[in-house]
Chains A and B, each alone.
Chain A
Amino acid sequence: MKIFRNLLNSVKPHFEEGGKLQKLYPAYDAFETFLFVPDHTTKSGSHIRDSIDLKRSMMTVIIALLPALFFGMWNIGNIYYTAMGEEVEFFTKFNYGALKMLPLILVSYIVGLTVEFAFAIYRGHQVNEGYLVTGLLIPMIMPISIPLWMLAVSVIFAVVIGKEVFGGTGMNILNPALTARAFAFFAYPAHLSGDKIWISEQQTMPDGISGSTPLADYASGDLTYDSSMFMDYFNGSMIGSCSETSTFAILIGAAMLIITGIGSWRTILSVFVGGYFMGYLFNLWGANEFMNLPPHVHLVLGGFAFGAVFMATDPVTASSTNKGKIIVGFLIGVFAVLIRVFNPAYPEGMMLAILLMNVFAPLVDHYIIEANIKRRLKRAKA
């Protein structure tokens, strides 16, 4: 670490006031605070001081994402070699997936951080770490075969229109990672849905290999559920976006988030409860095969668990009151299953459900706060 400190100290004068590169100070500041705990002190007003700042909490989320990421890498290799009909070792699969994931992650970070740095320097504010998590989330929720330039365009759209126009990290209405996915989904539908995109290099494979996700199969009625499939879904060895498949790996991440207090257990739990509730209602209705899918299966399919743990809990876009978290989370679960079952064009409803509830979260908060004020006024008068 000493080398970094010395290096930073030697270039610092250039970036401070009067220095040659004064304009680039935000970029310098970003590197310094990324490597070391900042020595800034609060100048005015009263603040709660805590050793955990934005950078530390973002790092926790990244660590919580790792199980799902590593599992996703293995799974990419697994479905590839299974489709090819080859038996290979664990690490061959993992390495294959890792090599496929790496370009996506690199493109996402390089493009996204370039945009963030450009805005920070132009506006003269600090580079925020929000993108560290977003940049990892985006490749994790994309299909592995997405062309890199499409990923780059989606990232630029998400950072500029999803975040920077509202004022940067902490001001956005919509979750940036999901904004990127929604943009790609509507802009390049052929690359984001269907049964030719989930296995890497499927174009070079012989025809007749089915590459559709279980959800799409249920929606089209090609697949009938039996209870032996549940553990496969839970473990995550199925077809889907890079890292969304394993509910088990995601729950490890969820445990980390809840224990460190960074992710809200209220949101996570109520999303699952909402999804279960809606799945149960459909069971009672039971008009077609898909509606008869047991409710707990909905929770382990597609991006439901991933969205619940890592997207719905985004502190910026989620509701900020405790009651609001429960209401918004519940509705996310309800809408996700609703969209899945009712709209065959969108076999996965989690993305749209979370984005929709992101928009309504401030409204829910508003009424909860108003109600609270009213209740306390009443109490004061009595």
Chain B
Amino acid sequence: MSDKKEALFSKKNLKLIKDPLDDNNPITVQVLGICSALAITVQLKPAVVMALSTFFVMCTANVVVSLMRNMIPSRIRIIIQLVVIATLVILVDQTLKAFVYDVSKELSVFVGLIITNCIIMGRLEAFALANKPWKSFMDGFGNSLGYALPLIVVAFFRELLGAGTLFGYPVIEKLGLYELGYENNGMMILPPMALVTCGVYIWIQRMRNKKLIEEN
């Protein structure tokens, strides 16, 4: 019961949010959820929607599983986690289809595939099953931010350099760069450049954060 005295935003709890942003980033350090990060970063809008969907699913799933953690028999815990995630993903999918149909079409199968996003399952297994709801919420919050950050940065550069737009707004055209002979880089729209951009992100991150560099 000593946990009860702990403040809601104690240092330990804030660390749950801060860690996944840099030191323990799910995409760039743990290298999880890469497939979706490569697939939906061609433009900013789908990337942001994807980040929001994952945010909702991860936080809610973490809280729900954490609430049920003492009731779940450990032998069938994976199935139960999957049911929780799948229910939430269907909710998200239906909402997107109802309100932003074009984005939903663009994301196509990837919304459904949030179920298989290793980050969510990983957090449920590693954290929510062993911690109280509030902490689990903070953990889900932090990790979905950690997922969103590289996603949005990569999508920013890919859309800007590949299509010359940001959220569909023709930035390069308004700046008048096309008249100077500038052309969009067709390679940025292709999947290999998502990998390269992610790689450059990791490179810069490791240059700034020496903790991430392995011993040898």
Contacts and interface: CB of A to CB of B under 8 A. Distances in A.
B186 A186 contact: yes
Contacts of B203: 165
Contact of B190 (A147, A150, A186): A186
Given A161-B196, A165-B199, A165-B203, A186 B187 contact: yes
Contacts of A165: 199, 203
A187 B186 contact: yes
A189 B196 CA distance: 19
A113 B19 CA distance: 39
Interface residues of B, number: 12
Contacts of B209: none
Contact of B186 (A147, A153, A161, A188): A188
B183 interface: yes
Interface in B100-140: none
A187 B196 contact: no
A91 interface: no
Contacts of A191: 183
- The 8 closest A-B CB pairs, nearest first, are A187-B187, A186-B187, A187-B185, A187-B186, A161-B196, A189-B186, A188-B183, A147-B181
A165 B186 CA distance: 22
A265 interface: no
A191 B185 CA distance: 11
B92 interface: no
A153 B193 CA distance: 14
Interface in A183-201: 183, 186-191
A187 B188 CA distance: 7
Interface in A266-320: none
Given A186-B187, A188-B186, A190-B183, 16 more contacts: A147-B181, A149-B181, A149-B182, A153-B185, A161-B196, A161-B199, A165-B199, A165-B203, A183-B187, A186-B186, A186-B190, A187-B185, A187-B188, A188-B185, A189-B186, A191-B183
A150 B181 CA distance: 10
Nearest to B192: A186
A189 to B, nearest CB: 6
Interface in B182-213: 182-183, 185-188, 190, 196, 199-200, 203
A52 B199 CA distance: 37
Interface in B11-51: none
A189 B188 CA distance: 12
10 contacts: A147-B181, A149-B182, A161-B196, A161-B200, A165-B203, A186-B190, A187-B186, A187-B187, A188-B185, A190-B183
Interface residues of A, number: 13
B182 to A, nearest CB: 8
Interface string B161-193: 000000000000000000001110111101000
A186 B199 CA distance: 19
A97 B41 CA distance: 43
Contacts of B199: 161, 165
A150 B182 CA distance: 9
B64 to A, nearest CB: 42
B164 to A, nearest CB: 13
Q: Which among A161, A165, A186, A190 has the highest number of chain B CB atoms within 10 Å?
A: A186
Contacts of B183: 150, 188, 190-191
Interface string B66-89: 000000000000000000000000
A122 to B, nearest CB: 10
Nearest to B200: A161
A186 B200 CA distance: 19
Contacts of B188: 187
A149 B203 CA distance: 25
Contacts of A189: 186
A299 B48 CA distance: 50
A190 B203 CA distance: 31
A4 to B, nearest CB: 37
A142 to B, nearest CB: 15
A182 to B, nearest CB: 9
Nearest to A189: B186
A189 B186 CA distance: 8
Contacts of A187: 185-188
A378 to B, nearest CB: 34
Interface string A159-183: 0010001000000000000000001
Q: Which among B181, B182, B183, B199 has the highest number of chain A CB atoms within 10 Å?
A: B183
Contacts of B190: 186
Nearest to A187: B187
A149 B177 CA distance: 13
A346 to B, nearest CB: 15
Nearest to B199: A165
A186 B183 CA distance: 13
Nearest to A148: B181
Contacts of B182: 149
Contacts of B200: 161
A66 B190 CA distance: 36
